Amino acid sequence: MMEFSAVDLARFQFAFTVSFHIIFPSFTIGLASFLMVLEGLWLTSGRDVYLRLFKYWMKIFAVAFGMGVVSGIVMTYQFGTNWSVFSDKTGPVLGPLMGYEVLSAFFLEAGFLGIMLFGLTRVGPRLHFAATCMVAFGTALSGFWILSVNSWMQTPAGFSINEVGQFVPENWFEIVFNPSFPYRFVHMMLAAYLTTAFVVGAVGAWHLLKDRSSDAARVMFSMAMWMAALVTPLQIVAGDMHGLNTLEHQPAKIAAMEGHFEGEEGAPLILFGVPDMAAGETRYQVAIPKLGSLILTHSLDGRVPGLNDFPPEDRPNATIVFFSFRVMVGIGFAMLGIGLLSLYLRARGRLYDTPLFHKLALAMGPTGFIAVLAGWITTEVGRQPFTVYGLLRTADSISPVDAPAVATSLLVFIVVYFIVFGIGTFYLLRSMAAPPDAGDGPHAGEPTRAAGVTPAFAYRDKTTPNPAE
C-alpha cells in the first residue's frame, strides 16, 4: 500500500476543502451583483418580471451563500491546524489582510444578508436595495482581500525577515498591491461573473426549452448572453496579461503550463502532449512553431523558459499544470463561441427561438466552475514546491501533527462534504428546475418555510410591494 506523509495528506486536505469552498464564492460573488442589478432594474423600471427574478435567484443565493459560509470557516482554522509553521511565519504579513477581510467584508455580508433575505416587508424597497448593494459590495471586497493574500504567496513583496524567521511587514502598499495581485484580482472577478452568467444562462435556456414564451426565462437568458458576449473577450485579454505577469515573476510555472522542458528562442506552442517529469520531456507533442514565443513575448524569436532552467527540487509538476491550464483555456474559448453565437442570433432576432443553442447553453452551465477549479489548480500547483514563492517550502510549512490525525480529519471531510454539499447541490438544482414565473418563486409546488402554519397567500400579499406605491 502507498504510504502518504503528513505533508501529502495536509496538501490533499487543503486542496480538497479549498476546492469545495471556491465553488461557492465564485458563484455568489457574481450572483450578488446580479441580484443587485435585478433589484435596481425593478426599482427603476417597475417591471414585475425583475422582482420575480430577484426572488427566484435570491433563494438560490441563500443556499449557495450558506454553504460558502460554512466551508469558509473551515479554511480560517485550517491554516493553523495543518500549516502552523506557515501561520507563524506569515501571520504578521498575511494575518492583517485576512483581518481586514473579516472586518470589512464578512461582517458586511453577514450583517445585511438577513435584511436582504427576510427584510423586504420590514424596511421597504429602498432600504432593502441598499442592503442588497452592501451584500454585493461585501462579496467583492472579500475577493479583493483574499486574492491579495494569495497573490502575496505567489509574488511576495514589501517585507523583511526577522530574527525568528517570520516575514514582517515593511511596506503595506507593496504587500497588498503585490506584483501579481491586480492581474489575479481582475482575472478571478471576471471568472466569478462569467461562472454566474453561464449558470443563469443555463437556467434560462432550460426554461426556454420548456416554455419559449416565459418572460422571466427570456430576461435572464438575454442578460446572461450579454455577459457572455461582453465579458468573455475581456477575460481572455485579462488572462493573457496575467500570463505575462506570471512569466515575469514565476517563469517555472509558465514553463510547466506550456510543457516546455528546454528553454529556447522562437519556442513552439504545444497544443497537446504529455509532459513526463521523470524523462524531462513532453511526449506526443502537437505543436505550432514559433507561436509560443509570440504569445508569451509578443515576438517570434523571444526566449521562453523551460523547466530544465530550474533545479529539479524547484520544479512544479508539469503533468498536472499542463492539462489543467488547457482545460481552463479550452472552456474560455468555448464561452467566447457561445457569446459570439448569441450576438449573431440576437441580431437575427432568433435568440429565444433556437432550441439547439439553448441546449448548448444548458450544457455550458457548469463549465464556469470547472474553469475556475482548473485555473486554481494551475496557479496553485504551479506555485509548488513553495507556499511563499521562492522563500518558504511547502514541506517546511507543515504542523507538527502526525499523519494518522491528518488522515482521519481528511476522511471525515470527504464524507461530510460529499453528504452536505451533495444534498445542497441537489436543493440548488431543484430550485433552478422550478419555473421562474410561478409568482412567489421556485417553490410553488413544494413546502415553504413553516408550511401548514400560515397560508402562503398571506405572505405573498405582504411581500410583493408595488413599486408605484
Kindly state the cell numbers that stand for 228: 457572455
Q: Minimum distance from CB of 50 to other proteins (Å)?
A: 17
CA distances from 258 to 241, 286, 288, 303 (A): 16, 12, 12, 13
- State which residue, 311 or 400, has the beta carbon closest to other proteins: 400
Cα(35)–Cα(42) distance, rounded to whole angstroms? 10
Minimum distance from residue 51 beta carbon to other proteins (Å): 14
The nearer residue to other proteins, 272 or 426, going by C-beta atoms, is 426
Which residue matches cell numbers 454566474? 196
Nearer to other proteins, 58 or 225 (CB): 58
Let me know: does 417 contact 423? Beta carbons within 8 Å.
no
Q: Which of 77, 284 has the CB closer to other proteins? A: 77
Q: How far is the CB of 333 from other proteins (least distance, A)?
A: 36
Question: Residue 426: how many CB atoms within 10 A of its CB?
Answer: 10
Please give the radius of gyration of the chain, using alpha carbons only, rounded to the nearest integer. Answer: 24
- How does strand 281-288 pair with strand 269-276? antiparallel
Q: How far is the CB of 60 from other proteins (least distance, A)?
A: 10
99 vs 355 by CB, closer to other proteins: 99
Minimum gap (Å) between residue 221 Cβ and other proteins: 25
CB of 403 to other proteins, least distance (A): 11
Choice between 141 and 334, CB closer to other proteins: 141
Cα dihedral sign, 223-359-370-66 = positive
Residue (378 or 409) nearer to other proteins, CB: 409
Contact yes or no for 442/52 (Cβ under 8 A) = no
C-beta of 447: minimal distance to other proteins in Å? Answer: 6
Cell of 256: 510547466
Judge contact between 318 and 256, C-beta under 8 A. Answer: yes
Q: Rounded to a whole number, what is the distance in angstroms from the first to the last CA of the chain?
A: 71
